[in-house]
Structures are given as structure tokens and as C-alpha cells.
Amino acid sequence: MISERLRNETAHHHEAIENAKRFSRLGEPDFTLEEYQQILERFYGFYQPLELAFRKHAQVMEALDYENRFKLPLLTKDLKHFGHTNETLSSIPQCDYVPELETLPQVLGCMYVMEGSTHGSQFIAKRLQEQFNLDGAGLSYYEGYGKDTMPRWKTFKAYLDSSLGDGNQKDGAQDDQVATTAAQTFEALHRWMDQ
């Protein structure tokens, strides 16, 4: 299963991301609300080019109802809670070194990273809520899909494992492309969050 391969091959990327400059501060007693807002802004700049590219792939968008998985609306809601306007959001820098997302395997490799981060974010949401007494406001991105998080993760993995090849014979080149793009996505996110 390609999902198992990705889990094994990207484990070190998960660990590296946690040590990125911005993420490493999460959970520290002196982590500030300003730092949290900066993380949201960086995510906003990272997701903009990705979600624009995802829209070009109608097959996967429809199969996964991906319009309802987009993160930009959640980030917009959070950032506006903290005082951003449409004008200030438009001035947030965008990441210009995201991986190439022209083929289905490339898109799935990138989505694997995005969906996996959603899967693991609710613990962070709880910690942030307690630290900043946010009462749910300003936590939309980290709350992700709420109670639907696990079912949506399983749906994504099932689609990932079944959508490449002809059903009987797996296409090793496509699997390699998925794995390469997943690694590139992790590396781009790490670099972006280290700036």
C-alpha cells in the first residue's frame, strides 16, 4: 500500500518539521499569541498556491469532496478573528517553491502531507485553547474536521491506495512520484516555516 510506504518513508520528515523554527516553539510556556498568528500567516501563504493547483484536478477534487477539505477558509476565519482584513490577507507572502503538482500522483503526494497534518492537529488545538483561553475562536485551522477528522483521513488513505495503477497491477513509477512529491512538500513546508 502506498499509504504505508509514505508513512515509513516520511517519518523523519515529521520529526524534522517539529523542529522547524516556528513549530518548535509550540507548547513552550512562553509561546506567544503573536507567534501563533505568525504560524497561521505562514500556513496561509503556503496553502494558497497548493489549493489553487489542486483545483485543476477535478477527478480528485470530486472524489474526495476536496472543496470541503480546503484550509484557506479556516485560516481566513482565524486570521480575521485576530484582526486581519481582506486587504491585509492579500499582502501575506506566498510560498514560491512548492512542489510541481501537474499529475495525479504529484497531487496525491502533496495531499498526503496536508491531510496528515490535519489528522494530527487537534491535540495542538486543545493545547492552544488552554494556553490562550481562546474558547474555540481563532482555532478553526487546528480544529480541522472536528469529529470527522478520522473518517476523512481513512477516506483519503483508501482513495490514495486505490486510485493509482489499473486496480490489479500497481504502477511503481506512479508510487515513486507520490513519494517524491510528499517528501518535496515536507521539505518546502519545513523551509517555509524556518524563515
**What Rg, from alpha-carbon coordinates, does the chain have?**
17
Residue 23 amino acid letter: F
Q: Are 159 and 99 in contact (CB under 8 A)?
A: no
Flag whether pLDDT at 24 surpasses 90.
no
From the number of C-beta atoms within 10 Å of its C-beta (0-12, 13-18, 19+), residue 68 rates as exposed
Per-residue pLDDT at 169: 47
**What angle separates helix 11-18 from helix 172-194, to the nearest 10 degrees?**
10
Give whole-number Cα distances, 106 to 72, 143, 147, in Å: 20, 26, 28
Q: Angle at Cα 112 formed by Cα 165 and Cα 27, nearest 5°? A: 165
135 Cβ contact partners less than 8 Å away, ≥ 6 residues apart: 129
| Single-letter amino acid, residue 120 | G
CA 72 to chain centre: 10
- Contacts of residue 98, Cβ cutoff 8 Å, sequence gap at least 6: 46, 49, 50, 53, 110, 185, 188
- Indicate the range of 30-44, 51-65, 139-153, 169-183 predicted with least confidence: 169-183
Split at pLDDT 50, 70, 90, the class of 171 is low
The three grid cell numbers given for residue 72, joined into one nine-digit string: 484557506
The predicted model gives 7-22 an average pLDDT of: 90
Q: Residue 15: enclosing H or E segment and its boundaries?
A: helix 11-18
pLDDT at 122: 83
- pLDDT digit string, tens, across residues 115-151: 999 987 888 998 899 999 987 789 999 999 999 999 9
Whether the pTM exceeds 0.85: the reply is: yes
pLDDT of residue 168: 44
Residue 136's pLDDT is: 75
Q: Which domains does the chain have, with CATH numbers?
A: 2-194 (1.20.910.10)
For the chain, the average pLDDT equals: 93
